[in-house]
Amino acid sequence: MRRFWYEQPFALSLLMVIAMIGQKGLPARSGGIERHVETLASGLASRGHRVLVFGRAWYVAGTKAPAGIEQVLTPGIRTKHLDAITHSVTALMAARRARPDVVHLHGAGIALLSPLARLLHPRAKVVVTFHSIDRVLAKWGRFARFTFKIGEWMACHIPHRTVTISQVLATYCQRMYGVQTCYVTHPVPMPDVPKDVDNFLRPHGLDVDNYFLFVGRLIPDKLAHVMIEAYGKARKEFPELFATRPLVIVGGAAWTDAYASWLCRLTSRTPGVLMLGQRSGKELIALQAGALAHVFPTASEGLSLALVEACQLGRLVIATNIEANVEATGGSMLPVRPRDIDSLANAFIVAAQMDPIDRARFTEAAARHSFASHDLNDRIDDMERLYREICGQPTTLTTPLAVNA
């Protein structure tokens, strides 16, 4: 007797049409939402679902989305306050042609459109992923913060299902809005580190395991200025220890050009700091894989993908002791207090002097935690199961039947 797997007669109906709205576009060049959507959409498309990702022409710049994903570019008004919301309005209108089963909005700000999503797509199920508490970011004024607050409320009450990427955010939604969300964190593929890491580092004068790395947007809440001052302080106290261990900053502005320019001026006055601007692809992975330690001085996070990747690459992490960073690392990091130059300077010194065996204790524990929490297939399974549940579909695609040989 042999066992065969036979598809159910309704199996084809289980394949869904899913519209992703709120991200800037694919392929992801920067930004946690874009990278989250790229991995999620690729995983769902590989399982046979039709996935439409709505992007913005200025971000995509003529590039193509990963295989299997349909990317649709819609117009919008490219200003700091209107870019995301106007593109998302036109995306919701354009998505009607595809008659999606699921409309998935990404970000609390875009959740302002969840009533419109339900109105324009009455047969679809609307999902919102709550990625971060945007209203606390310093780059937004009073009115923008008020609208983000409304967006948070809508994210928790209007869609058919609300998803949070961290347990910290799930707790926040429960305490602030009395809503039990679904926790589905970032799906993260296994690191694909180039074999020739040195070739990517050499043009910048860098050596493996001999530099500190910051990867993130250059916005005030990431506190890169505090990091630069702390590094400068540590270098002054131990010049020989840091003479060959630079601080490398990778990232670009996000409607924060004035702040980024100020960082450049601060960098010019601080020996040993190197700003590389925005990097992506193999070069970014090589920079991440070669660092002695990754530094995350941020005051606010949803759940940093760069931090998760640092853990999976087996790199030591220096991070502020905010709840999101503790969750991402499982506590296996060198903790520092936000906005505390002395605390961060001391962490730089400890990391530079740390014995390889002690460093391995931190990195191995963080890697185990990260791989378990962000397993690619498990997290895609979680989201696919959520879609099926709200669409009223069975969660099993095939049934094992015993058949005589």
Same domain, 144 and 202: no
Same domain, 362 and 225: yes
- Considering the domain boundaries, does residue 5 fall inside one? no
Q: Please report, for residues 145, 182, 353, the alpha-carbon distance to residue 14 in angstroms, rounded to integers and kept in the order given.
A: 40, 21, 56
Same domain, 349 and 307: yes
CB atoms within 10 A of CB 236: 12
Q: Which two tokens stand for residue 141?
A: 């004024």
- Considering the domain boundaries, does residue 341 fall inside one? yes
Q: What percent of the chain lies above the pLDDT cut of 90?
A: 87
- Considering the domain boundaries, does residue 400 fall inside one? no
Mean pLDDT, rounded, for 26-41: 91
Radius of gyration of the chain from Cα atoms?
22
Grouping H, G, I as helix, E, B as strand and the rest as coil, residue 38 is helix
Domain total of the chain: 2
Same domain, 223 and 280: yes
pLDDT at 290: 97
Grouping H, G, I as helix, E, B as strand and the rest as coil, residue 73 is strand
Distance, CA of 381 to CA of 46 (rounded, Å): 12
pLDDT at 401: 41
Q: Please report, for residues 293, 304, 330, 337, 375, the alpha-carbon distance to residue 191 in angstroms, rounded to integers and kept in the order given.
A: 17, 16, 19, 29, 12
3 or 312, higher pLDDT? 312
pLDDT at 396: 54
pLDDT tens for each residue of 208-233: 999 999 999 999 999 999 999 999 99
Inter-residue contact 187 to 40 (CB < 8 Å): yes
Mean pLDDT, rounded, for 100-111: 97
Same domain, 216 and 230: yes
9 or 48, higher pLDDT? 48
Q: How confident is the model at residue 16 (pLDDT cuts 50, 70, 90)?
A: very high
Q: Which two tokens stand for residue 242?
A: 């840091």
User: Does the pLDDT of residue 198 top 80, yes or no?
Assistant: yes
Same domain, 109 and 171: yes
Counting beta carbons within 10 angstroms of the beta carbon of residue 132, is it exposed (0 to 12), middle (13 to 18) or buried (19 or more)? buried
- Considering the domain boundaries, does residue 280 fall inside one? yes
Query: What are the phi and psi torsion angles at 373 (to 5°)?
Result: -75, -30
- Considering the domain boundaries, does residue 402 fall inside one? no
Grouping H, G, I as helix, E, B as strand and the rest as coil, residue 39 is helix
User: Does the pLDDT of residue 330 top 50, yes or no?
Assistant: yes
User: Does the pLDDT of residue 54 top 70, yes or no?
Assistant: yes
Same domain, 210 and 333: yes
- In whole numbers, what is the pLDDT of the chain averaged over residues? 92
Check which CATH number belongs to the domain holding 113 and give it: 3.40.50.2000
- Considering the domain boundaries, does residue 11 fall inside one? no
Same domain, 313 and 379: no
Inter-residue contact 109 to 83 (CB < 8 Å): no
Inter-residue contact 344 to 336 (CB < 8 Å): yes
User: Does the pLDDT of residue 10 top 70, yes or no?
Assistant: no
Distance, CA of 144 to CA of 150 (rounded, Å): 10
pLDDT at 3: 33
DSSP state of 83: H
- Considering the domain boundaries, does residue 321 fall inside one? yes
Inter-residue contact 312 to 371 (CB < 8 Å): yes
Distance, CA of 61 to CA of 25 (rounded, Å): 10
Inter-residue contact 200 to 338 (CB < 8 Å): no
Distance, CA of 185 to CA of 167 (rounded, Å): 8
Same domain, 301 and 345: yes
Same domain, 170 and 217: no
CB atoms within 10 A of CB 256: 21
- Considering the domain boundaries, does residue 356 fall inside one? yes
Q: How confident is the model at residue 395 (pLDDT cuts 50, 70, 90)?
A: low
Inter-residue contact 224 to 267 (CB < 8 Å): no
Instruction: Name the residue range of residue 262's domain.
Output: 197-373
pLDDT at 399: 38
pLDDT tens for each residue of 143-194: 999 999 999 999 999 999 999 999 999 999 999 999 999 999 999 999 999 9
Same domain, 205 and 183: no
pLDDT at 29: 81
Same domain, 112 and 211: no
If residue 183 lies in a helix (H) or strand (E), which one and from where to where? strand 182-183
pLDDT tens for each residue of 66-99: 999 999 999 999 998 899 999 999 999 999 999 9
